[in-house]
Structure 1
């Protein structure tokens, strides 16, 4: 089997590249297993591209980095009989600048964004029960859950597993109920004492026994009412998980965040181009102190928002989008937005074929609030050019 010649450290007692070799072996072996039974099917995607970034820190020298990156995922899924369905997926994230190579299979993620470069894992492994002719289903195990605005960026202030090149996941139970116009989701997620599997940022902490189970709930409708094509409300509840004075302080609070998301669409002219306006507003009920977030003194802000402007089919299968957001320093539950950040992003998407999609993005992020010792806000500029093949 061929593996990419990315630099990787040698660790005594193990073969260099063993982690990624194991993951890629799983990716190649799963189709063979799936072919043994006509009731099972395979799918997946390969995403690769060039990423570049430049950081201007609060103090010190500017830094920049660029690399070529790949994310590979392969799924096998099928019916088991008795209204049961199973799905499993292997995933790997590779980068020309990676410094490690390993297979990660634990009940927590190694970083706040999920896997690091050079790591592979099983990012799906679940059973789903859906009674015949029923409107509800229950999923149990490890799965992917994403609840973004229905635009070309699909960003979210809360639950959004495995965006961009990231690999993250949710462990727990997912109950869904599908009505005529609305779909309701309730997710009970497990949070390991060593950390979560998705993006839940410090000073959220899960060492207390009461913080092991978190709750996410959402109700969404994509039934069009005039120009409105999406409506959604969500709630995230993390009991006994917030350390408002920082991780070193024993004080604990629940963390509760709610959002409202919507998108509306209008035609532009007679050529098939449409304009889609998206928006999301989020409120965190209890927030940490600014001393814990290194953003000054007093209570952190609780209100966050984003708005997007998408021009669909400006040319056939070509979309252009702009998103702007301001994220409070007390907002701790988004994989797409960092706390205490102002974000501006422009993206171009070309759906070249049903299987191939090309994307280009340029983005600027800058801090909003600073501590008194900070000389200037941190600013990050980055871009990527990527292609995704789905099969």
Structure 2
């Protein structure tokens, strides 16, 4: 479990909160003028989580708890191609220390909200003309691109996986000129006090040139032979990397590219499909290993994951295995901490259109260590979770 830091009893009114409130008021006023059609939806995810950690010194600790994530969305069709969506999300745990509604333009940590916190994780306006091949979304939104497999993990942009609550603030342009490929271009804002998730230290945004980052991607899910997913992504975070540590003023741009692909083949006549997924990522500029506490010299960045999945191994039952190695200089993933190798098995059961059950068992081990270190850190964890969508 994460160490909790002291919090103030109340959250001050910040400019970012005022901007979100202004967007809600604008949407409501536009909706009233155009006889908006409103709908509600949401999901409740709850389950049992347990973990056991062996530190570098060899000390072992364990923890377990019951955890939940609750989200409720209001969406409106405002007319003339305009749409609005807002969602409230909360992360709850039987081991939480207190409760707080977090309304700041940064997240408290790489996993987003801490246990006991709630926030508005969506508040955006979208312009989507009916006959146009493009749309633009402005405000706070969810942006996630994982492998199309049982685990849906990603080396880069993947908001709110598992029980996490993260988000992206910015502008998102989508363009689909034909039947096959969709292009995504996100200009995101990162607060000087920290990002809204996914981006790990020594990426910081105290430098005025680092507040705006860019994510671009091209994806296709049009089948080509056995291929059912193809995707290339680019991340650019100018002046955000502090290679010698966050206290050192020297900065570099952090630039990273990934390629993702998934292929599928039938297994016999029972309806079972074998699905193979893979992702590869590389970043040319990395921090020093002294900064990452992983040795000496420049950190590596070449990272990858591979997944092996059996879809409909029984009706509505899927089984997946994933193995990945993420270098000490890869700083973009919410699913893979830097300097870890990961092995995971997961079973998923789509009980009904509204209910889904997942069971996961995972191990993560450190890869590179400073000289003289006794043991690589090891984390074992499992969960049993159910998700209800309404």
**Moved beyond 3 Å, runs of 4+:** 8-14
With over 3 angstroms needed to count, the CA separation of the structure-2 counterparts of 1:202 and 1:9, relative to structure 1, is: closer
1:193 equivalent in structure 2: 192
The CA deviation at 1:132 is 2.4
Q: So what's the TM-score if we normalise by structure 2?
A: 0.91
Summarize deviations over 1:149-188 as a string: whole Å, max 9, x none: 1001100000000000000000000000113100000000
| SS at 1:210 equivalent | helix
Separation of aligned partners in 1, 2:156 and 2:110: 13
| SS at 1:148 equivalent | coil
2:153 equivalent in structure 1: 155
Separation of aligned partners in 2, 1:297 and 1:383: 33
Summarize deviations over 1:13-46 as a string: whole Å, max 9, x none: 88xxxxxxxxxxxxxxxxxx9xx97711111000
- Asked if the contact 2:121/2:167 (under 8 Å) is kept, the reply is yes
- Asked if the contact 2:58/2:374 (under 8 Å) is kept, the reply is no
1:294 corresponds to 2:297: no
- Asked if the contact 2:36/2:77 (under 8 Å) is kept, the reply is no
1:144 equivalent in structure 2: 142
- Counterparts of 1:376-387 in structure 2, within 5 Å, are 376-387=375-386
RMSD: 1.8
With over 3 angstroms needed to count, the CA separation of the structure-2 counterparts of 1:191 and 1:11, relative to structure 1, is: closer
Separation of aligned partners in 2, 1:127 and 1:13: 32
Summarize deviations over 1:178-207 as a string: whole Å, max 9, x none: 131000000000000000002100100100
| SS at 1:281 equivalent | strand
1:45 corresponds to 2:43: yes
2:13 equivalent in structure 1: none
Separation of aligned partners in 2, 1:336 and 1:255: 19
Separation of aligned partners in 2, 1:184 and 1:58: 43
With over 3 angstroms needed to count, the CA separation of the structure-2 counterparts of 1:245 and 1:322, relative to structure 1, is: same
**Match for residue 81 of structure 1 among 73, 79, 82:** 79
1:365 corresponds to 2:364: yes
Give 5+ residue unaligned stretches, structure 2: 11-27
Summarize deviations over 1:299-327 as a string: whole Å, max 9, x none: 11120000000100011000000000000
Q: So what's the TM-score if we normalise by structure 1?
A: 0.91
Give 5+ residue unaligned stretches, structure 1: 1-7, 15-32
Separation of aligned partners in 2, 1:249 and 1:38: 51
